[in-house]
Amino acid sequence: MRTFYIETFGCQMNAHDSEKVIGTLLSQGYQQVAKPDQADLVLYNTCSIRDKAEQKVFHRLQEFKKEHGKGKLFGVLGCVAQQEGERIFERAPHVSLVAGSASYAKLPQMLVQLESGTRRVTGLSLDNDQAFETPFTQRDNPHRAYITIIEGCDKSCAYCVVPFTRGPERSRTSQSILNEARELARMGYLEIQLLGQNVNSYRDPSPAGWDFARLLRAMGEVDGIRRVRFTTSHPRDFVKDIIDAIDENPVLCNHVHLPVQSGSSSVLARMQRLYTRDEYMRRIDWMKQARRNISITTDIIVGFPGETEEDFEHTLALLDEVQYDSLFSFKYSRRPNTAALELGDHIAEDEKSRRLAILQEKQRAIQIRRNSELVGTVDEAFVEGYNQATRQWIGRTTQNRTLNFIHPQQPEPREDATLAGTAWRVRVTRAGPNSLAGEAVI
């Protein structure tokens, strides 16, 4: 029995790719182990969105350099693999496999080559026009499943490596997505999260030619699926019909992650984001005017080249105006091949840190205030697990808030009974900046 270990870095797309890689390896007779020292094959599914993420994998490879002599094989998958290609063999000579996500469909053949002793195997082509579909996906969560609807990205945001690491956009047919969703429902999954770097530019390649809103509506009708989420949305392709679809059907979660990146139109132009602040705000207005209470989250980059103090103030003002429910914020990081490298006026690291701290403090205050307004309300929480330390069930609302709670009749999991995978009405009794706590209403 051959064994493998895999560690995943980065976004949900990577997490889901790993589920497919694991499924493929299991189907080839490999067994997954929990620690790299127990494995014959050690895989890192990597992220290169920021420099820090990229460095992590090289640290990992350094740690295990000496293991190579003991007959272990090492593989680098994902975005760093695609970005660095065969240079990885120079930086880490004990690596045998380097493959980007567009080549995973060829994983079984690559494994055969490795097993037959080929010293260096690569899968780096980006011209694969098929999304990576596999019948062998080994899902991590028994209740919530990811489905990739579109791979790659055709935008060219000036700071971003994704178009170089994940290639051009390829949408899956609506039929294959719906078949996967029905199969998941049959297996007992309750929640589906549709994935893509830009789900809004989904275009069904089959004659049906559905757009994203049409697909979303169909997903909301799959028998047995109680929640449908999606991520990520690009503001440029975000149309009002998506909000109308959410308004029509409570199965479609009332949460939209709409990355803005900056509140300054001149920074947005230099970022090549293809929208202005006003155009972004129009989309926010659609959401605020919706019948359902849609929670809105975003991504922000501080310290993009040339970002002035005034530009940064515009971003802070945007936070006040939108009142996001949550956000991810990052210091701009220079990435290879990207257009932003050519821009002048790079911002000093400590200035980026200062801006990030101010932004995060402001958002923390907004979240504390917004969450405290929810104390006393009742919401539905889907149970994802149990936290032994706090002795609470871990729940999530349709707005994607964490709502942990106690259940008077079942304070903890028993061998024959767990609440995981069930839904409860929960009264919110406490609020923090990042989560809510409450008690099940029985």
Q: Using CB under 6 A as the criterion, which residues of the chain lie in contact with ligand SAM when the complex forms?
A: 11, 49-50, 159-160, 162, 197-198, 232, 234, 259, 261, 299, 301, 330, 332-333, 335
49 touches which of ligand SF4, ligand SAM, none (CB within 5 to 8 A by kind)? ligand SAM
User: How far is residue 46's CA from residue 91's CA, in Å, rounded to a whole number?
Assistant: 15
- Minimum CB distance to ligand SF4, residue 23 (Å): 25
Q: Nearer Cβ to ligand SAM, position 107 or 195? A: 195
Pairing of strands 423-431, 95-99: unpaired
The site partner of 16 among ligand SF4, ligand SAM, none (C-beta below 5 to 8 Å per kind) is none
Between 238 and 386, name the residue whose CB sits nearer to ligand SF4. Answer: 238
Give 367: exposed, middle or buried? Use CB within 10 Å, 0-12, 13-18, 19+: buried
In sequence order, the β-bridge partners of residue 397 are: none
163 binds, among ligand SAM, ligand SF4, none (CB under 5 to 8 A by kind): ligand SF4
β-sheet bridge partners, residue 430: 437
Least Cβ distance, residue 353 to ligand SF4 (angstroms)? 22
Residue ranges that bind ligand SF4, judged by CB under 6 A: 153, 155, 157, 160, 162-163, 197-198, 234
Instruction: Work out what residue 335 binds among ligand SF4, ligand SAM, none; the CB cut-off runs from 5 to 8 Å by kind.
Output: ligand SAM
Residue 417 is classified by DSSP as B
359 binds, among ligand SAM, ligand SF4, none (CB under 5 to 8 A by kind): none
Q: Is 428 helix (H, G, I), strand (E, B) or coil?
A: strand
Q: Which of ligand SAM, ligand SF4, none does residue 283 bind to, with CB < 5 to 8 Å depending on kind? A: none
Using an 8 Å Cβ cutoff, are 131 and 151 in contact?
Answer: yes
* Least distance in angstroms from the C-beta of 24 to ligand SAM: 23
The answer to whether 74 and 92 have CB atoms below 8 angstroms apart is yes
**CA dist 380 → 82, 185, 252, 398, 426 (Å):** 42, 20, 14, 7, 6
Rg of the Cα atoms in the chain: 23
Minimum CB separation from ligand SAM for residue 110, in Å?
Answer: 25
Q: Which is nearer to ligand SAM, 22 or 79 (CB)?
A: 79
- Rounded CA-CA distance 196/232 in Å is 6
CB 250 within 8 A of CB 221: no
State which residue, 241 or 299, has the beta carbon closest to ligand SF4: 299
**Which option in ligand SF4, ligand SAM, none does residue 146 bind, with CB closer than 5 to 8 A by kind?**
none
Task: Choose from ligand SAM, ligand SF4, none: what does 11 bind? Cβ within 5-8 Å by kind.
Answer: ligand SAM
* Least Cβ distance, residue 153 to ligand SF4 (angstroms): 3
| Shortest Cβ 437–ligand SAM spacing (Å) | 29
DSSP string, 122-164: EE------S----TT---S-SSEEEEE-EES-----TT--HHH
Closest CB to ligand SAM among 299 and 351? 299
H-state helical runs in 290-432: 309-322, 349-372
Residue (6 or 194) nearer to ligand SF4, CB = 194
Least distance between ligand SF4 and beta carbon 152 (Å): 9
Rounded Cα distance between 394 and 383, Å, is 6
CB of 337 vs ligand SF4, minimal distance in Å:
11
Q: Minimum distance between the CB of residue 434 and ligand SAM, rounded to whole angstroms? A: 19
Query: Cβ of 70: how many Cβ atoms within 10 Å?
Result: 9
Could you give the angle at which helices 212-219 and 174-186 cross, rounded to 10 degrees? 20
Residue 189 or 238 with smaller CB distance to ligand SF4: 238
